[in-house]
Amino acid sequence: MTYRSTERTRQKKDAKRTAMMQAAVRVFAEKGYHAATVRDIVSAADVAVGTFYFYFPDKETLFVYLYEETAEFLLQALKQAVKGRATLPKKISAAVQSYVNIGVFEPAVVHLLLVGGVGAVPALLEQRARFRKSLVDLWQEPLDEAMDKGLILPQNTRRSAEALSGAIDEVVLHLLDRPDPQQYASATVV
């Protein structure tokens, strides 16, 4: 006779895994990758240490997984914000506001992607490079379109997209350094 888990059992397992991942994002954002411990994560998630190792072989694997998931979440949010906007300024404005909103309401996400992931885990270099490339691609497409229509001066749109990506990261990080970032969030974009 084989054991089959029930839907309720699967839901409980999923809830524990989700709680651990959410707690880990917060712990990594607060303490940084190197200072954060598995004990910190399980304590924040209110699960046992054994539960952590049931889902993840080590802290690094969890961190890389969270980085990938978080990067995908941010990219999808930005793509959705750009989609359907008619002009370059409106596309940029909508995407920046989306990024700012994520930063204000989910600051741990931004810290994980822009601060915690930098140099923390050697295995993360490839994923981080892919994420950064995807962000630059997101900005380059509307720049190419605007240049092709003669709406902006001829330029190296790749370099411009890289500059735009870095500048927007800086805006969001600077906003998060403020005592009450939500107060300034809507004033960020014109």
Sorted by sequence, the CB contacts under 8 Å of residue 112 that are 6+ apart come out as: 25, 28, 29, 66, 67, 70
Predicted confidence (pLDDT) per residue in 26-63, tens digit: 999 888 888 999 999 999 999 999 999 999 999 999 99
Predicted confidence (pLDDT) per residue in 100-133, tens digit: 999 988 888 888 888 776 677 787 888 888 999 9
One domain, residues 142 and 181: yes
Domain with 33, as residue range(s), is 7-56
Percent pLDDT > 90 in the chain is: 57
User: Is the pLDDT confidence value at 190 over 50?
Assistant: no
One domain, residues 159 and 112: yes
Q: Give the residue, 24 or 118, on which the prediction is more confident.
A: 24
15 in a domain, yes or no? yes
One domain, residues 104 and 16: no
Report pTM: 0.83
Q: What is the pLDDT of residue 117?
A: 64
One domain, residues 76 and 39: no
Predicted confidence (pLDDT) per residue in 10-23, tens digit: 788 788 888 899 99
- The mean pLDDT value of the chain amounts to 88
70 in a domain, yes or no? yes
One domain, residues 130 and 42: no
CATH number, domain of 35, equals 1.10.10.60
Q: Report yes or no: 48 and 42 within 8 Å, Cβ to Cβ.
A: yes
What is the rounded distance in angstroms from the CA atom of residue 182 to the CA atom of residue 180?
Answer: 6
1 in a domain, yes or no? no
